[in-house]
């Protein structure tokens, strides 16, 4: 088994992180829609995510029809944080294919300003 590296997302604005371990999951610029729902409440659709592992494909009947999806797990703490749309069976839902859902209840917002890169933070004062 190889060493697992975690991607630190930076850029303008917000980063979405795992609620359980604060591992970065997605950048705000990858957000497609906030109008999705899941068992635990709201969910967001993203073009791409980081630091996740994709589980086994399975067919699920959702409110918008039948889809083939795979659960996605945070690479840091292995909690399920959402799912990946592998295939949509209805033509109107094809836009979801290859995209990711992150459950809002399983993520937190982090802002670039929370991550200081100033070398003075490590300075020792007499």
pLDDT of residue 117: 38
63 domain-assigned: yes
The pLDDT tens digits along the chain (126 residues) read 566 778 888 877 899 999 999 999 999 999 999 999 998 899 999 999 999 999 999 999 999 999 999 999 999 999 999 999 999 999 999 999 999 999 999 999 987 544 433 444 433 434
- Distance between terminal CA atoms of the chain? 46
pLDDT of residue 79: 98
121 domain-assigned: no
Kindly report the number of other CB atoms within 10 A of residue 49's CB atom. Answer: 24
pLDDT of residue 112: 57
pLDDT of residue 115: 43
Q: Map residue 22 onto helix, strand or coil.
A: coil
pLDDT of residue 8: 87
pTM of the model: 0.84
CATH number at residue 64: 2.170.150.20
Q: Domain residues for 77? A: 30-114
78 domain-assigned: yes
pLDDT of residue 50: 97
13 domain-assigned: no
62 domain-assigned: yes
74 domain-assigned: yes
Q: Is 26 left (phi over 0), alpha (psi -120 to 50) or beta?
A: beta
103 domain-assigned: yes
Q: Count the domains in the chain.
A: 1
Which tokens in the block code for residue 73? 């797990």
124 domain-assigned: no
């Amino acid at each position: 088994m190889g060493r697992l590296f975690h991607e630190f997302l930076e850029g303008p604005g917000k980063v979405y992180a795992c609620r359980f371990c604060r591992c970065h999951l997605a950048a705000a610029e990858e957000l497609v829609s906030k109008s999705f729902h899941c068992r635990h409440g709201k969910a967001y659709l993203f073009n791409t995510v980081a630091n996740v592992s994709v589980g086994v494909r399975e067919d699920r009947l959702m409110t918008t029809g039948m889809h083939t999806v795979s659960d996605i797990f945070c690479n840091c703490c292995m909690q399920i944080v959402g799912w990946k749309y592998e295939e949509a069976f209805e033509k109107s839902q094809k836009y979801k294919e290859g995209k990711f859902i992150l459950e809002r209840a399983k993520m937190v917002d982090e802002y670039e300003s929370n991550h200081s890169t100033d070398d003075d933070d490590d300075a020792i004062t007499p």
